[in-house]
A and B are shown apart, each in its own frame.
Chain A
Amino acid sequence: DADVTQTPRNRITKTGKRIMLECSQTKGHDRMYWYRQDPGLGLRLIYYSFDVKDINKGEISDGYSVSRQAQAKFSLSLESAIPNQTALYFCATSDLNRDAGELFFGEGSRLTVL
């Protein structure tokens, strides 16, 4: 089983729908991140969390919200999806106790907004 699991892996939805992408991890890491990747481009940070009570905006947080339900779970929500949120979304984790902690990524969630 993957250490960082994202669900769903693929989702097609319509404009205006609420969508939640879920991430769970078995690595015991405190830090979790959500990234977005558009075709041919690099990853952009949406939100990150260093522990259950800590939530921070990244580069492109507008139109997104997150919830850190537990150390192991970090969900990304699109309250009202729009077509330009069509992208590949990645969740990642890192270990608080490692210098410049290595990021461990999930397999990605491909979201299409029609």
Chain B
Amino acid sequence: LAKTTQPISMDSYEGQEVNITCSHNNIATNDYITWYQQFPSQGPRFIIQGYKTKVTNEVASLFIPADRKSSTLSLPRVSLSDTAVYYCLVGDGNNDMRFGAGTRLTVKP
């Protein structure tokens, strides 16, 4: 199973773009990269998933370099409500789905 490494915490200000990078050096050929957001006392919520290059949806973008050993979640123009913990998961869905420690993002006014 590919292990993931993320920064423990990040601070930002409202209106800024936030980029959170996840390292996954042992990613397997069939693995996808999935990001989740978690608010206190709630279950994590899916944000975005990708396999390679760039994926964009209505809330975020995911950048994956050619070697796929890392990925970057980009949140455009964050607001106070984006304060949460963000998790990067790597896997193909056919094995256990393990979360790392996540990145605690704090958005300040």
Contacts and interface: CB of A to CB of B under 8 A. Distances in A.
- Is B one of A's binding partners? yes
Contacts of B45: 105
Contacts, number: 68
Interface stretch (B11-19, B59-67, B70-78, B99-107): B99-107
A100 B34 contact: yes
A58 to B, nearest CB: 6
A68 B78 CA distance: 41
Contact of A100 (B92, B99, B101): B92
Interface stretch (A13-21, A41-49, A76-84): A41-49
Contact of A108 (B32, B43, B51, B92): B43
B42 interface: yes
A74 interface: no
Interface string A26-46: 000001010100000111110
B41 to A, nearest CB: 7
Interface size class of A (residues with CB under 8 A): 20 to 34
A88 B41 contact: yes
B32 A99 contact: yes
29 contacts: A33-B96, A35-B99, A42-B87, A42-B101, A42-B102, A43-B99, A44-B98, A44-B99, A45-B98, A48-B97, A58-B96, A92-B43, A92-B97, A94-B93, A96-B93, A99-B92, A100-B32, A100-B34, A100-B49, A100-B91, A100-B93, A101-B93, A102-B49, A103-B36, A103-B46, A103-B97, A107-B43, A108-B42, A110-B41
Interface of A: 4, 31, 33, 35, 41-45, 48, 56, 58-59, 88, 90, 92, 94, 96, 98-108, 110
